[in-house]
Structure 1
Amino acid sequence: MTTRPRTPSRTPSRRALLRAMAALPVAALVLGEAPGLLGTALAAAPPSGSATRYTIVPFLNSDDGTVNVYQSDDATDFRLVQSSAYTPPSNRIRDASVFKHTDGYYYLTYTTHTWQDVSTTIGFARSSDRVGWTFLYDYTVPIANLSRAWAPEWFVDSDGSVNVIVSCSTTNDEWIFTPYVLKAANSALTAWSSPVALSGIGANHIDTFIVRIGSTYHAFTKNETAKYIEYATASSLTGPYTITRTGDWAGWGSYREGPALVQLDNGGWRIFFDGYGDGNYYYSDSYDTFATWSAPTALPGISGTARHFTVVKETVTGGVSITKNATRSLRSVNYTTRYWEEQSALLNLPVVTSSSATADKQAATFTVVAGLADANGYSFRDAAGNYLRHYNYRGRFDANDGTSTFAKDATFVARTGTASGAVRFESYNYPGYYLRHYNYQLRLERSDGTDLFRQDSSFVPATAWA
């Protein structure tokens, strides 16, 4: 039986400060359906020569006057592309949401003021390359007696219409937020419809993020009283929504905010959220249309630095290309005399040279084939016809039993390695976990975002020893 791997001085959050103020006497996106949407890549491993690219543009825990740009090929290990990539000409930039429009530009929308200030505008900027950004304008949200407009989130519907979901409060109670939708009135994104409140979600909800699957709109929204991320569904973007999951329904804990979702290459859905209560940024995955979720895991590398972001997913050129239906040997990047070798059905990393025994050379030679669970991925077959799969965190070879579990366990997504021609092999069914050598054994381990892990999980497909 396969064991599923399980996940195991900060500036005060605006919500933490909001809680203190509230005690005073004042009281999206559809994936893979149309060009230009957030996450337009379909749920499949990238084809040969292509790569998946996830981009985030968070503001900084230490500075809400600028944003960094990070990217990842696996939605787990985000690496800095550009620091201080965009600083607005005035005011602040918080809660930045990013998407790629049909005009080829990337667009940001964001909160323009810090928590203490009246904030009746949301900001807009655009970029042709995700690195250099140009300020467009600040838009005053036309709501009577508006006090604060926070956390605008892009949502592109299946008809291609572009929307912004924004959380707004009025002067009669500046800390009680209600989600509204603004619909773009032109393709230039310079004119917007009148705000429409999302029916059914109700007041005192903030950071509402929506995805659409088929005919159903799925909303993830923070209950500002309970401090939990709640879940609601509707058959129309504006509702009425029915909130069906409250409290700690997903096991994410309390004091969570800024939910954002993206679909992974294997078809699962990943939610990211800001764990402002403990200083971490988390992710969690679902494979049953949001009914159950994996244990929340802190994002390596950027927890404690990045704050409140959304994700744009693309398939881009320049990815790994490995010839299939051909024999190869796999050499370690950082131990260049060591190769994958099957030893007693387990995958290890011994030294293999031209003077090695013929049996060792044969055991270090594998046939690379199309992934059993996804033809864009990769599977590896030994001379006896057994397949490399992960089992209790170990790489081992077993006969294909024809089950979908085996197919997924034996499929790996190729990600770019740390050296020229090198490849990292990510588990298809446990995203963020890689084949990594440890004590010269090949194990399935979760990426920790370090250079050492990237090197230990990088291998060069070489001419077969046998």
Structure 2
Amino acid sequence: MTTHPPAPSRRTLLRALAALPVTALALGELPGLLGAAEAAAPAGGYATRYTIVPFLNSDDGTVNVYQSDDATDFRLLQSSAYTPPANRIRDASVFKHTDGYYYITYTTHTWQDPSTTIGFARSADRVNWTFLYDYPVPIANLSRAWAPEWFVDSDAGVNVIVSCSTTDDEWIFTPYVLTATDSALTAWTAPTALSGIGSNHIDTYIVKAGSTYHAFTKNETAKYIEYATATSLKGPYTISRTGDWAGWGSYREGPCVIQLDNGGWRIFFDGYGDGNYYYSDSYDTFATWTAPTALPTLSGTARHFTVIKETVTGGASLTKNATRSFRSVNYPTRYWQEVSSLLDLPVVTGSSATADKQAATFTVVAGLADAGGCSFRDAAGNYLRHYDFRGRFDANDGTTAFAEDATFIARTGTATGSVRFESYNYPGRYLRHYNYQLRVDISDGTDLFRQDSSFLPVTSWA
């Protein structure tokens, strides 16, 4: 494939009184600090790590911690990692502060009850959490303070965006910003409403790209996630996209936006109407989006979360400018081999023909689209790329599309020393064998898929 395809709950009784039906980072690690310069595949020996701390569909009294190396296949790191000493924990937002600690802020009560505080906790390792305090949001006649979301501005200011309603209409929410006035995050400015977004918007999540603030916010009447921009954090914002503008559908909430290793942007949102958790990608700064895809391991389990992205040590390491053969982890007699320009997985042994050994030998080079990634060249100088999601070898035509199709990001495999190869321009899709053919398929979150997509770089056959 050579192009990115464009896109053409919380509260099932949130408007209960109206009887509406329901169908449905230190720098580089923090919301609001993601920029193009930070979008790159991790260097050898390093890995990208995404962390989320969602509450559970079955229990809003505790949160699990999950992590992923590709923002698609999230694996449980710790169940019931944090249970507050009192009240509930919903809509947890997480970030890593400059003091080295991870912090979460969260909604402290279930949706039926008045909720005038937001909670805070911190952790040194993302697994063991310590309760800090419940903060009474100082808004007159406050009824509910929901969905606090961290936002760290480019001046390193730490903010929380929180959706608040008052007792005159407890179901009409307005986004407010609180700014920390100390590095310990114990003192906050008075809440200020975000100008231009207006009331009846909830779950407002903001990222900054260049000098523009981009807000994704749920219109609680229409049940769609809307899009607004501003030149300052507090606004005024201009809402420019409404309705089903991105093709995500209705009854969506809890948006969170991060930048992927290939420079694209990914939004996650809670599809509370159908029980799925979705993601969708944009490669033109939020103008168009890919069709929403359900997260394989989280749908039906996790609710409303935000994501932090870090670069950590311990990732896959693959020597560049060296010849290697690649052995299947779960079929150890089978190796990558070029067969009529396609990549297959036949049996190769010491008694195999010289031509078969040569066809199972490849040169690993720096990624054509990103030097932190990798590309693979055969003896004739052709490159492995995906075409209609099939692995095949073609001559480099010098186009950006070819370079992206022929670039893969090395992720840690299931066996010691093994590597998984994620498509650079279709994140979440991996080279995997199916019927002994190599395809670029989307992860389904199963252990079998991870094994089918894990390969050991070994001494080359030729």
Per the alignment, residue 108 of structure 1 pairs with 104
Q: Alpha-carbon deviation of 1:47?
A: 0.4
2:195 corresponds, among 194, 199, 205, to 199
Determine helix, strand or coil for the equivalent of 1:407.
helix
Q: What secondary structure does 1:17 align onto?
A: coil
d(CA) in 2 for partners of 1:446 and 1:4? 15
TM-score (norm 2): 0.96
1:13-412 equivalences in 2 (<5 Å): 13-23=9-19, 34=27, 37-38=30-31, 42-412=38-408
Work out the CA distance in 1 between the residues paired with 2:381 and 2:89: 56
Distance of 1:6 and 1:302 partners within structure 2: 24
Letter in structure 1 aligned against 2:295: L
**1:300-356 deviations in Å (ceiling 9; x for gaps):** 011000000000100000001111000000000000000000000000000000000
Structure 1 residues 96 and 202: alpha-carbon distance in aligned structure 2, compared to 1, 3 A threshold: same
Report the Cα offset of residue 16 of structure 1.
Answer: 1.7
**Alpha-carbon distance between aligned partners in 2 of 1:2 and 1:394, rounded to the nearest angstrom:** 12
Measure the CA separation in 2 of the matches of 1:444 and 1:4: 14
* Structure 2 residue identity aligned to 1:123: G
SS of the residue corresponding to residue 408 of structure 1 reads: helix
Return 5+ residue gaps in structure 2 as ranges: none
Deviations 1:100-140 (A, max 9, x none): 00000000000000011110000000000000000000000
Amino acid across the alignment from 2:305 = F
Deviations 1:30-51 (A, max 9, x none): x89x366247692000000000
Moved over 6 A (4+): 5-8
State the shift of 1:3 in Å: 6.8
- State the Cα deviation string for residues 220-263 of structure 1 (Å, max 9, x = none): 00000000000000001000000000000000000000000110
Contact persistence 1:177–1:205 (CA under 8 A): yes
Would the aligned equivalents of 1:426 and 1:433 in 2 still touch at CA under 8 Å? yes
Unaligned runs of 5+ in 1: 25-30
| Contact map agreement 1:94 1:151 (CA 8 A) in 2 | yes
Aligned to 1:28: none
Supply the distance in 2 between the matched residues of 1:159 and 1:322 (Cα, whole angstroms).
Answer: 37
Distance 1:126 1:199 in 2: 31
Contact 1:36 1:104 in 2 (8 A): no
**RMSD of aligned alpha carbons:** 1.6
The superposition leaves residues 9-67 of structure 1 with CA deviations (integer Å, 9 ceiling, x where unpaired) of xxxx342211223339xxxxxx89x3662476920000000000000000000000000
TM score, norm. by length of structure 1? 0.96
SS at match of 1:16: coil
SS for the counterpart of 2:38 is: coil
Name the aligned partner's letter for residue 203 of structure 1.
Answer: S
Q: 1:345 to 1:6 in 2, by over 3 A?
A: farther
> Structure 2 counterpart of 1:407, which letter?
A
The amino acid of 1:279's aligned partner reads: G
Deviations along 1:54-87, whole A, 9 cap, x unmatched?
0000000000000000000000000000000000
Are the aligned partners of 1:94 and 1:112 in contact in 2 as well (CA < 8 Å)?
A: yes
**2-structure distance, mates of 1:410, 1:224:** 43
SS of structure 2 residue aligned to 1:225: coil
Match of 2:415 in 1: 419
Letter of the 1:168 partner, please give it: C
CA distance in 1, matches of 2:91, 2:30: 19
AA partner of residue 280 (structure 2)? S
Q: Cα 1:290–1:3, aligned 2, differ >3 Å: closer, same or farther?
A: closer
CA distance in 1, matches of 2:12, 2:28: 39
- Distance (whole Å) between structure 1 residues aligned to residue 392 and residue 246 of structure 2: 33
Q: Which secondary structure state, in structure 1, belongs to the residue aligned with residue 12 of structure 2?
A: helix
Q: Give the fraction of aligned pairs with identical amino acids, expressed as a percent.
A: 84
- For 1:27, the equivalent position in structure 2 comes to none
Question: Which residue of 407, 432, 439 maps to 1:436?
Answer: 432
Query: Take 1:177 and 1:323, find their aligned partners in 2: how far apart are those partners?
Result: 53
Distance 1:394 1:323 in 2: 25
- C-alpha displacement of 1:7: 9.8
Number of residue pairs matched?
455
Contact 2:362 2:378 in 1 (8 A): yes
* AA of the residue aligned to 2:292: P
Paired AA for residue 105 in structure 1: Y
Which letter maps to 1:342? E
